[in-house]
Structure formats: C-alpha cells, structure tokens
Chains A and B, each alone.
Chain A
Amino acid sequence: MTDDAHERTDEEMPGTRRLATPDYDGEFDAIVVGAGLAGSAAALTMAQRDLDVLVIERGSYPGAKNVFGGVLYTPTIRELADLDDAPLERYVAEKRFAMLTEDDETAVSMRPGDWHDPPHNDSYTVLRGDFDEWFAAQAAEAGATLVTETTVTGLIRDGGRIVGVETDRPDGALRAPMVVLAEGGNSLVSEGADLKRTERREHVAVGVKEVLEFPERDGVVEDRFRLDGDAGVSYHYFGTGAVGDAFGGGFVYTNDDTVSVGLAYRLSDAATAQPDPAGTLDAFKSHPAVAPLLRDARTVEYTAKTIPEGGVESVPDLVHDGALIVGDAAGLVLNNGIHLEGTNMAVESGYYAGQAVADAVSAGHVDRTALTAYPDALADSFVVRNLERYDWLMEAAREDQDLLFEELPRAVADAGAEYFRMDREPKASHASAAKQRLLEAVGGWRGVAKLALRYRKIVS
C-alpha cells in the first residue's frame, strides 16, 4: 500500500483555492475551521449531503500544522471514503506494552493473527502530512471548497448568534449560517469566543516526536521489528525510563521505511518535576530497550503538540447558536495508558457534527437546539461512552503515579530477575523471593486487594 504513496505536488487539489481576497461572504451553508481529521470528516459528511462547505486551513496544505503520535483508527473513515486509495504507512500487527525503569524493560506483546487480515483492526500508522491532505481532498472531491494559508482570527456574532468567521485576509470576514470549529487542541478561536474555557495545565499533555530514517540500508524496519509486507508495530512505554518523573508515556511506531518515536506527559510535570521535553525524548531514545530499535537512525523531522487530556469533564458545550466544536478542540481524546485514541474520536465527532448540520439546514433551523443531535449522537457513541468509562482511571492513575510509574516497574523487573536467577539455589526460594519483592512494592496482600478493587473496572 505504500508503493504508490501519495506524493505532494505543486498542483492544487480539486476545490483548493488560494485567494488574495475571499469573495465567499454568504456563499456557503457551513464554514469548517481547520482541515485536520475532525474538520475534513465534517466537511466530507456535509458535502456528501449536498451542502456548500468552505474549509479554512491555516497551514500551507491540510496537515501542514498537524502532529500526532502515529496511529490512525479508521472504522468511520472507511465508511466515508475508499481507504484503498489512502496514504497509509503500515497496519498495526503487534501491540507491545512495556514498563521501563532506568535500565530495565518488562513487556507484554500481542500479535493476533487476525490483525493481518483486512481491515486490520482499523489501526494503521500514517503520516499526517500525507493523510490529512488526502482526507481533505476527499472532501473537496465531494464538493467542499478548501482555502489554505488562511487563519481564522475570530468569530462574527449577530446578537448572540455566530454568523461567520474573521480571517487574516484583507476584508476577510466570511459569513455562513454554521461554523464547525475543528481547530485542534490549541484552540484559540473557541477560547477567544468564550465557547470553551482555558484548560488547567494538569489536564494538558505536551508531546514531542521524531520521525527517524535509516540511511545506511533498506529493510531495516522489517528486520528490526520482525515484520513482513505492510505489517507494523505499535509499542507503548511507561515508567521512569520512558518519561522520567512525569505522568505520561513513550511510543515507537513503524512507518513504511521510517520510525516514529516520541512521548507525551503532563504539562504541569514539564513545568516542575520533568522539564525539557526534548531532553526527556533524548533520554527515552537512549534507553537500553529503545536504543537498539533506533540504532543508526537520522532525524527526518522533529515535531511537538499539546494533547487535551482532561477527559469527559473537560469537554466543553459542543453546540452553540450557529457553531459546533469537534475533535481535539472539544477535548475528545482518550489517553489512559492502555488505549491511546483520538483520531477515531475526531472523525466520529466530525461525522456526527456534519450530520447534525445537514439535518438542521434542511429543516431550516440553525440555532443551538436544532444542533443537539450532534451531542446526543456523540453521547450514545463510543466517543463519550469510552471517555466516561475511563474517566476514573486517569484519576486513579494520577493518585498512584509513584506506584504505577516508578515502584511497580522497578519491582516487576527485580522480581523477574529474581525468578530467573541462575545460581545453585532451588527455584522455590527464587520464586518466593520474587513474590516477596512484588508484595513489598504494592503494600502486601492488603495492598493487592486494594489495587484489585481500585482497578477492577479495567476488565469488568
């Protein structure tokens, strides 16, 4: 699937406009702010329902300002467009979860056979520069109009209603009955218009990532990660060896012939306990369990982003008179250490928002109450249900940060070393000592019971 990988050219995509002066005032049913996954999903959905849609992207092309860890989840994208043509890198054939101390790794790895079969559990590594441009092009081919290099600087109101956007173009006011805000986590327009509050730094993560290539030889990714064809891996790491004294985790994902390596952790920790995200990434890349995967690699691109991790409590009001908020701007990210999701939630929210706008416009209503189909659909979908299901987990994990990220990885590594220790002692005494080491870390059997009770909902 990567042989015919999408090459960016100077040719403009269908529907793309780079206008000196937009002359679209009042021409469109809806304006979408941002051509990321949520914005393009909304635009594509509305265009498929025959609405006239304008998508405004501040980057020089869709994806130019976008960063993510590296795995795209595609169940709804597959419904909206033909994924066979999409610039996918690899499907995820292996998931690995590893606890790292400063110099130990203890890991669980899964390679279900089913994941080799289409649709590959709807999990693919992609590069947003390629994918977002393709996805926006699907919206354009369905009839949406895309304007790039145009920054939305504010919303236009008439009374209480939002009736359009201000842009940084000369005479850049653009009016439309509906505005879909898909501006990402750093959502200046939504905040500036008081549609959402500025989040506390405890609920925002800073992420840094590098894409690495292996200039010395071909086939390194396949060899090093035990892969064939388009199969790829998704490795997650937590513990002090991944992000130091911070709440967060690291990752390694395989692309076609590059590797994405990065980490994300709580912004309040970056301000205090674990400053310098770039230096933290250096340390993670140099970890004894990670360095062998990256040997002889060269940095192709270094990126950073912030991630809204406040959970369901931080999701703002999703509909207003004349406006809807989707994707990262709406805080729709599930990042609980087990599931790292957001791309699927972005697409799902854009899809429901687009449906709600199309229904409202065809009914001739554009006020807030006409749009409640969007938050209602989202509340019934996996997006809000998953956020609600795991809300407690983030809280619990924050409270148990030292145990989960430092003491437990240390104890598990020690217990493993003890259990398999090769000397002239009988196995029974090693097993007993290993068990003792684990029990110490969690506070004895009483501690085990407390933890089991606390985290039972993960599997129940």
Chain B
Amino acid sequence: MSTEPGVPTVENESLEDRLYTVKYTDSGESHLDVTIPGICAEKCVTYDCASVCPAGVWEADGDGGVPTIAYENCLECGSCRWACPHGNVEWEYPERGSGVTYKQG
C-alpha cells in the first residue's frame, strides 16, 4: 500500500507571480480613481473594492482613508465599479492600447 497522500499538492503561484504572466503597458497615469475621497474616508468601512479585486489593485491601508490603487496590476475586469456600494469608483479604459495585453485570453 502506498503511504503517499491521496491528493497531489498544487503549487499555487503567488498573486504577484501570476500577475507577472500578464503583459502590461503603463500609460503613465492611473485609469482608476475615486470620485469623492471623503466618501472612502467617512462612509466606507467595508472596502468592497478590495474584497472583489482579483488582482490586489485596491488595498485599504488601515487608516480608514482612500485605498491605495496599484493600477499597474489592473486586469480591467471592472469589478470594483459595481462592487463599491457608494458608486465612488472612477473607471476609464486605459488609453491608446495601454493597460493589459492578454496573449491567450
């Protein structure tokens, strides 16, 4: 009888390594922003933008203010737009072919 475990371990690469598989062209400015910073600071306690983001773009830094926005990681799914219960996410398409370029999709 085998003494090996019945299930192989899948090596899940870190999110950082996975994001590294995606080609990204930086336009030099963020295509994401918040409409009214005060809403994040005063009204938001849940940071749903950070909960739904598959790429760790939005991160609440713990001081209760506007989350940091690592737009260079953005996979352009748009989840944050719908997730924010205050409608406070500003979302534009990255311009002139910048942003993600998927090879497989």
Contacts and interface: CB of A to CB of B under 8 A. Distances in A.
A130 B102 CA distance: 10
A407 B5 CA distance: 27
B62 to A, nearest CB: 16
Given A267-B82, A285-B12, A304 B105 contact: no
B13 interface: yes
Interface stretch (A40-48, A205-213, A333-341): A205-213
B28 interface: no
Interface string B5-38: 0111110110101110110010000000000000
A128 B51 contact: no
A358 interface: no
Given A64-B101, A299-B21, A286 B10 contact: yes
A354 B24 CA distance: 33
B8 A295 contact: yes
A354 to B, nearest CB: 23
A294 B96 contact: no
Interface centre among B9, B21, B25, B78 (most CB of A within 10 A): B78
Contact of A270 (B9, B83, B91, B97): B83
Contact of A66 (B18, B52, B54, B102): B102
A129 B101 CA distance: 9
Of the listed residues A67, A128, A288, A290, the one surrounded by the most CB atoms of chain B closer than 10 A to its CB is A67
B51, B75, B85, B100, most chain A CB atoms within 10 A: B51
A129 B54 contact: no
A401 interface: no
A282 B79 contact: no
B103 interface: yes
Contacts of B15: 278
A129 B93 contact: no
Contact of B12 (A127, A148, A282): A282
Query: Which one of B19, B87, B91, B93 has the highest number of Cβ atoms from chain A below 10 Å of its Cβ?
Result: B93
Contacts of A306: 77-79, 82
B18 A291 contact: no
A129 B97 contact: no
Given A286-B10, A303-B22, A129 B105 contact: yes
Contacts of B102: 63-67, 128-129, 301, 303
B63 interface: no
B18 A60 contact: no
Interface string B50-65: 0111111000000000
A299 B18 contact: yes
Contacts of B51: 270-272, 275-276
B46 interface: yes
Interface residues of B, number: 46
Contacts of B21: 299-302
Given A206-B79, A299-B21, A188 B93 contact: yes
Contacts of A282: 12
Nearest to B56: A278
Given A64-B102, A303-B22, A267 B97 contact: no
A188 to B, nearest CB: 6
A200 B83 CA distance: 9
A292 B105 contact: no
Contacts of A304: 54-55, 75, 77, 79
Contacts of A270: 51-52, 79, 83
Interface in B62-104: 75-79, 81-83, 85, 87, 91-97, 99-104
9 contacts: A58-B93, A59-B101, A65-B100, A66-B102, A66-B105, A277-B79, A299-B17, A304-B79, A306-B78
Interface of A: 8, 58-61, 63-68, 127-130, 132, 148-151, 153, 168-169, 185-186, 188, 198-201, 204, 206-208, 210-211, 258, 267, 270-272, 275-278, 282, 285-286, 288, 290-292, 294-295, 297-306
A-B residue pairs, 5 tightest by C-beta: A149-B97, A128-B105, A186-B78, A275-B51, A302-B18
